[in-house]
Copies of this chain bind each other. A is one copy, B any other.
Amino acid sequence: MRVFNFSAGPAALPEEVLRQAADEMLDWRGSGMSVMEMSHRGKEFISIHEEALADLRDLLDVPASHRILFLQGGGLGENAIVPMNLLGTKETADFVLTGSWSQKTFKEAHKYCAPHLAASGQTADGFTRSPARAEWQLSDDPAYVHLCTNETIHGVETFDIPDLGDIPLVADVSSHILSRPLDVAKFGAIYGGAQKNIGMAGVTVVIVREDLLDRALPICPSAFEWKTVAENNSMYNTPPTYAIYIAGLVFKWLKKLGGLKAIEARNIEKSKLLYSAIDSSAFYVNKVERASRSRMNVPFFLADESRNEDFLAGAKARGLLQLKGHKSVGGMRASIYNAVPLEGVKALVEYMKEFEQRQA
């Protein structure tokens, strides 16, 4: 029996993607090979790779000014890879902090420059908001401004993306990429690990404005130098071929559903349902400012935290899995990525109501 999987990542995948992957495992379309067995330079895999690139460009409406790269190392890897690629001759970059992930990004940047804290959404309740552009205090000459547009752990999403003019805006979009349309033209670069909305862990998508490809530090490893990766069409080193294949299947699934506007509508419906259930009850609480509430990651607390283990055990018994909150925050967290169906959220909300009634 398939469960409803609320994992923050690696996370649920569309069942039809998994079925197709299983069906094609031993023989991809008459090639006599699994996709895992194909040379990355053979015509079979090149067709898979090109189609994934084209579908992602189409879905996100990536402008011609931007290149799409497939790398390895995930978001945490990019915390070093971004400064090594974008600092050029500048001595600082600016950081907007909205949660644990952007905190880590800020910390790692100290290895390569003197980073500047431009704004923080930290309050007495932890990270609960995304500071508006008017609150950002930029330094005089930053190489770029970094933002994490969806904080997986704290459930803080940034909906208003400012236009910074000549200063490249760089965003970690790992946990909400492809959940809604995004104006990629506003960014110098965006990056994201695949293990939330794109596919399986092991491939990192980087979308970077082509004119920024000449700013790498000499110490940047060739395998992670975006210019080298771009010049070799993501094949400077052997790419994570199977992860790219799975991502391609997910892109096709999204296109069939109607693209990002259609999935956004579904995600709005799902997240509204869950936040309404939380807000309409005194037993559950979410501390994030309404305007910054993530549609992907919904952390919540039980009024009586001594019931946490019971809550999780009861959920598991109904096939509602991986609802435990991140250890740094506690409580619960429901990650409701693209592949989590509305039925899953309905089942969760129903369970939450029943669990609350049982406490009375």
Contacts and interface: CB of A to CB of B under 8 A. Distances in A.
Interface of A: 1-3, 5, 7-13, 15, 18-19, 21-23, 25-27, 31-34, 36-40, 42, 45, 72-77, 79-81, 84, 108, 111-112, 193, 195, 199-203, 218-219, 221-224, 236-243, 246, 319, 321-322
Contacts of A111: 218-219, 221
Count of chain copies: 2
Nearest to A108: B222
A282 to B, nearest CB: 30
- Which one of A73, A75, A193 has the highest number of Cβ atoms from chain B below 10 Å of its Cβ? A73
A223 B73 contact: yes
Given A22-B22, A222-B76, A10 B238 contact: yes
A238 B37 contact: no
Contact of A237 (B23, B76, B224, B238): B76
Given A79-B223, A222-B108, A2 B242 contact: no
B9 A36 contact: no
7 contacts: A11-B39, A18-B36, A73-B224, A73-B237, A74-B238, A240-B243, A242-B242
- Which one of A12, A108, A237 has the highest number of Cβ atoms from chain B below 10 Å of its Cβ? A237
Given A2-B27, A77-B221, 13 more contacts: A1-B27, A7-B38, A9-B39, A10-B36, A10-B38, A33-B321, A73-B73, A77-B224, A80-B221, A108-B221, A108-B222, A193-B238, A195-B241
